Amino acid sequence: MTAHMTTAFVAKEMSDRGYRVIEGAVVPVTGGTADSRRVRPGDLFAAFQGEHTDGNLYVADALANGAVAAICQAPPGLVAPGKTVVVAPSTTIAAGQLAHAWRRECSPRVAGITGTVGKTTAKDLTAAALSSRFSTHCSEGNLNSREGLPLALMSLRRDHEVSVLEMGMDSPGEIVELCEIAEPEAGVVLNIGLTHVSKLGSIEAIAAEKLSLARWLPPSGTAVLNVDDPLIAAAAAGLRSRTITFGASASATLRRGEIEDLGLHGSRFPVSFAGDRATVRLRIPGVHVVPGALAALGVCIALGMSLKDSAASVESAETGGRVRVLLSDRGAIILDDRYNSSPASLAGALRLLGRLDGRRIAFIGRMAELGDYEEAEHRRAGAIAAETCDILVAVGEQCRSTVQEAKSAGLSDARWFAGKDEAAAAVRALLRPGDQVLVKASRGEAFETILPVLEGRE
């Protein structure tokens, strides 16, 4: 029996639920995607309908590009020979049902990770650490939504003992939906922040949604909670599952001591749990990623590893993290942290910049989905920039207030630009050997397009 899902499994599970299935050749399904342009041979293509595109228009392209199966709302006009196609009223529901069935078939121990910032780093650290003991599956990238998580489970194999899954949300009830699909045994809640407040209305509503992961866990499960966050600490008592609380707080069961900041080389800190002690050397720069490492330790302990072995596994974990260190042709060091931005992650990145030697330049764009907090949080970023950098370059209308606040707080060189290309050219003109340049913005700002300018590759 193959370790992978097969198209025969897809056909049976979907037909048993009453969906129309066009059966093709029996071949392995090795992954899932919703982008017909990024199909890899062996993928299942899920034709989701989004705000700006309809995946049903690209089913034929996906199958032609190597997908072995598809879930869609209407079959393509001509199905390529040998391909399996499931026709369902809702691709999202059908994909979730298939993923849940496959998770049950493989029966791994599942760890779910949620939080406002740091989920992907925590997920990657956790999976890397667990892989020292278990055959470990990990969701790719940020496949963490009601559409993305089912696709992540398509790459699960029968020989995987553990699956580590990121769980995101932008609407009420989404975390519970993901729990019903993945059935986690361990659940991490990293932090509660303002991202998505424009959709959920308040920080309390965000907290309730994130904490629904911990509340969903069965009595035999383990909630791994950051009690340095007061909203999480308030909910730690009264859960039906076991809890491992982490942080610097005296109430934490997995407690860290003082962090030694090693700059771009990472950090070092002592930890204790149930009378045992260890020291962790984290290789990812920035003390703001330490909670993700503590979460990884907590999951390792929850799944039966000792503190000593857990610490050694986290220390040796190879993970790309989110911050890439690049070198400009002009001798400047570029900290590429432009994957996403939120108040907490931007503050952490600015404070990392502030601890580095050399002239410090922050090149930032807007933070998205802050709702009524948008003005205040962009101003707060300006105040932090004034404390941590020598030059601030900010892009976009929302960042006008960032520059204004930075100047008010005493930063003499704070510049605002309407567009990122003009801003990138200005930063490029500034660069000299030894400069440290932080690049950070929300994902939708597409700051990856300006990196070649800063590096001198165009």
Distance in angstroms (rounded) separating the CA atoms of residues 373 and 193? 11
CA distances from 16 to 47, 94, 153, 287 (A): 20, 12, 20, 50
The yes-or-no answer to whether 5-95 and 107-316 have a common fold is: no
Contact 26, 149 (CB under 8 A): no
Cα Rg, the chain, nearest whole Å:
23
Strands 324-327 and 333-336: antiparallel
**In the prediction, which pLDDT does 337 show?**
84
**More confident site: 343 or 98:** 98
**Which stretches of 59-213 are assigned E, i.e. beta strand?**
69-72, 84-87, 109-114, 136-138, 162-166, 186-189
Decide if 190 contacts 211 (C-beta within 8 A): no
Instruction: Tell me the per-residue pLDDT of 330-349, one tens digit each, with 9 for 90 and over.
Output: 999 998 887 778 887 888 88
What is the overall mean pLDDT for the chain?
A: 91
The pTM of the whole model exceeds 0.85:
no
Q: How far is residue 129's CA from residue 318's CA, in Å, rounded to a whole number?
A: 9
Work out the pLDDT band at 195, boundaries 50, 70, 90: confident
- Identify the three-state secondary structure at position 263: helix
Spatial contact of 326 and 336, defined as CB atoms under 8 Å apart = yes
Residue with tokens 């570029």, as numbered in its chain: 334
Whole-angstrom distance, CA of residue 295 vs CA of residue 290 = 9
Strand, helix or coil for residue 445: helix
Contact assessment for residue 122 and residue 190, using Cβ atoms and an 8 Å cutoff:
yes
Say yes or no to pLDDT of 270 above 60.
yes
User: Which is the CATH superfamily of the domain at 107-316?
Assistant: Mur-like, catalytic domain (3.40.1190.10)
Q: Which of 2-11, 87-96, 241-250, 325-334 comes out lowest in average pLDDT?
A: 325-334
How big is the CA angle at 55 (ends 52 and 56), to the nearest 5 degrees?
125
Q: Which CATH superfamily is domain 5-95 in?
A: MurE/MurF, N-terminal domain (3.40.1390.10)
**Among 263, 275, 319, CA closest to 293:** 319
pLDDT of residue 411: 94
Residue 319's pLDDT is what? 55
- Length of the chain (residues): 458
Task: List the one residue out of 436, 430, 439 whose CA is nearest residue 360.
Answer: 436
Superfamily per CATH, domain 324-455 = Mur ligase, C-terminal domain (3.90.190.20)
The predicted-structure confidence for 343-400, as pLDDT tens digits, reads as follows: 878 888 898 888 888 999 999 998 887 877 788 889 999 999 999 999 999 999 989 9
Per-residue pLDDT, 161:
97
CB atoms within 10 A of CB 198: 15
Confidence tier at 196 by pLDDT (50, 70, 90):
low
Residues 57-97 pLDDT 10s: 999 999 999 999 999 998 777 677 899 999 999 999 999 99
Confidence band, pLDDT 50/70/90 cuts, at residue 16: very high
Instruction: Please state, in angstroms and as integers, the Cα–Cα distance from residue 52 to each residue in 49, 55, 339, 343, 376, following that order.
Output: 8, 10, 21, 27, 30
DSSP 167-178: ---SSTTHHHHH
Domain boundary assignment for the chain? 5-95, 107-316, 324-455
For residue 285, the model assigns a pLDDT of 81
Does the pLDDT value for residue 321 go beyond 60?
no
The least confident of 19-33, 106-120, 311-325 is 311-325
Whether the CB-CB separation of 117 and 344 falls below 8 Å is answered with: yes
Q: Is 270 helix (H, G, I), strand (E, B) or coil?
A: strand
- With a cut of 80, say whether residue 199 has pLDDT above it: no
For residue 52, what are the contacts with CB-CB under 8 A and spacing of at least 6? none
Residue 258: per-residue pLDDT: 96
Confirm if 26 and 50 have CB atoms less than 8 A apart. Answer: no
